[in-house]
Amino acid sequence: RAYNWLQVSGSDPDLFMTNISIDSTRGYVQRIYGYHNVYRALYGVG
């Protein structure tokens, strides 16, 4: 399933999250992506 979601959304993470068909998985990915953005804001890229 994840492969199909990636194929449809390409490199757009927001589109990827909207294409996830399982609610619990979508929520998990959204939380992780949010934490990723906080980490990047605090510590930068890399």
pTM: 0.66
Q: What is the pLDDT of residue 46?
A: 67
pLDDT in tens, 2-22: 888 888 888 888 888 888 889
Average of per-residue pLDDT values in the chain: 89
Measured CA to CA, the distance from residue 3 to residue 19 in angstroms comes to 11
For 8, the domain range is 2-43
4/39: higher pLDDT: 39
Q: How many structural domains are present in the chain?
A: 1
Q: What share of the chain is helix, strand, coil (3-state, %, to 5)?
A: 80, 0, 20
Q: Which amino acid is at 43?
A: Y
